[in-house]
Amino acid sequence: MFEATELNIRNDRIQERFRYLFLAMAVVLIVPVLVILSLLVIKGGPVLSWSFLTEFPKNGMTEGGIYPALLGTIFLVLVALLFSVPLGVAAAIYLSEYAKDNWLTRVINLAIINLAGVPSIVHALFGVGAFVIFFGFGTSILSASLTLAIMTLPVVIVATREALQSVPHAFREACWSLGATKWQTIRKVVLPNAVSGILTGVILEVSRTAGETAPIMFTGAVFFVPFLPESVFDQTMALSLHLYTLSTQVTDVPENLPYGVALLLILIVLAMNALSIGFRTYLRNKKKW
């Protein structure tokens, strides 16, 4: 009784084989991450130093630090957030809390999906046409940040909408049944309980924005400016573009220098992601529902 037949044994063996096949595929994922990171650390690690972070580049980029590029990236990201967060959160609130399933909602959802799928170089060309030329902002931080903002808008909207939707419906009902308007319900019940998810989305957006090159290279970021930007109408350097030009346009660059820039860029992104994960874990442990 209950002994395995030939067929059972063969099926078991096949299923084992598939298990290992899938495991191998999953493990393959780790390899590029490890290779990239170790290469960057080995080659770029020695370059990183305090003066690398705080000094201007010298000798046609071949020496010195990357201070203006670092600062420029931070500037670009902050100004982009200034536009994309209020807009994205407001749109997500509309879609999650107010919108009924009608043609307008479907059009908006379609627009978000398409916006998320537009290649970044197309965003760049749009940025040139719209912000640099049509609105006359010129190649400036403002133009570049607006382009970045539009590109990352879908991320903010989707993350915010998910965060809002994860707030239990029972809280909303309880609030309505006490005579609250929709807006009172959103402000007093939904948003306070969704804020952790929204912030997680924003931080992820930051990490994506910081690394983008194409959308900023025509709209506001330049290879070299000898001074720091003073307003949003100035041009600026940026880490991602700096890396691109160092590796492709400049001759006689010490081999380690681009790796140093790349390492710094990836460290910023990883730090942002870690912050986001840590933050989410902290808030998730705090809330009990």
Partner 1 sequence: MTDSPMTPGGETRRSNSDVEMAIRTRELNLWYGDFQALYDVDFDVRRGQITALIGPSGCGKSTLLRSINRINERLGYVRTEGTIEVLGKNILDENVSMPQLRKEVGMVFQRPNPFPLSIRDNVLFGYRLHEAKATRRSSVNRRQEDEIVEQALREVLMWDEFKDKLDANSIELSLEAQQKLCIARLLPIKPAVLLMDEPCSALDPEATAAVEELLFRLRGDYTILIVTHNMAQARRVSDESAFMLMGKMVEHSRTDEMFVTPKFKETANYIEGRYG
Nearer to partner 1, 54 or 181 (CB): 181
Tell me how far CA of residue 218 lies from CA of 92, 238, 284, in angstroms.
Answer: 30, 12, 41
Alpha-carbon distance 195 to 89, whole Å? 10
Q: What is the DSSP letter of 5?
A: P
Instruction: Give the count of residues interacting with partner 1 (CB under 8 A).
Output: 20
Shortest distance, CB of residue 157 to partner 1, whole angstroms? Answer: 22
Q: What are phi and psi of 57, to 5 degrees?
A: -70, 150
Q: Alpha-carbon dihedral of residues 42, 46, 52, 53, nearest 10 degrees?
A: 50
Nearer to partner 1, 33 or 178 (CB): 178
Helix (H, G, I), strand (E, B) or coil at 236: strand
The contact mask relative to partner 1 for 84-123 (x = CB under 8 A, - = no) is ----------------x-----------------------
Q: What is the C-alpha end-to-end distance of the chain, expressed in Å?
A: 48
Region binding partner 1 by CB under 8 A among candidate stretches 139-147, 183-191, 206-214, 267-275 = 183-191
Shortest distance, CB of residue 4 to partner 1, whole angstroms? Answer: 46
Do 263 and 41 meet the contact criterion of CB atoms below 8 Å apart?
yes
Q: Tell me: does residue 285 bind partner 1 (CB under 8 A).
A: no
Residue 244 CA to its chain's centroid (Å)? 19
Helix (H, G, I), strand (E, B) or coil at 258: helix
Nearer to partner 1, 9 or 104 (CB): 104
Helix (H, G, I), strand (E, B) or coil at 64: strand
The contact mask relative to partner 1 for 15-54 (x = CB under 8 A, - = no) is ----------------------------------------
Name which position in 5, 59, 177, 231 contacts partner 1 (CB under 8 A): 177
Q: Tell me: does residue 178 bind partner 1 (CB under 8 A).
A: yes
Do 76 and 68 meet the contact criterion of CB atoms below 8 Å apart?
no
Q: Tell me: does residue 179 bind partner 1 (CB under 8 A).
A: yes
Nearer to partner 1, 175 or 210 (CB): 175
Shortest distance, CB of residue 101 to partner 1, whole angstroms? Answer: 8
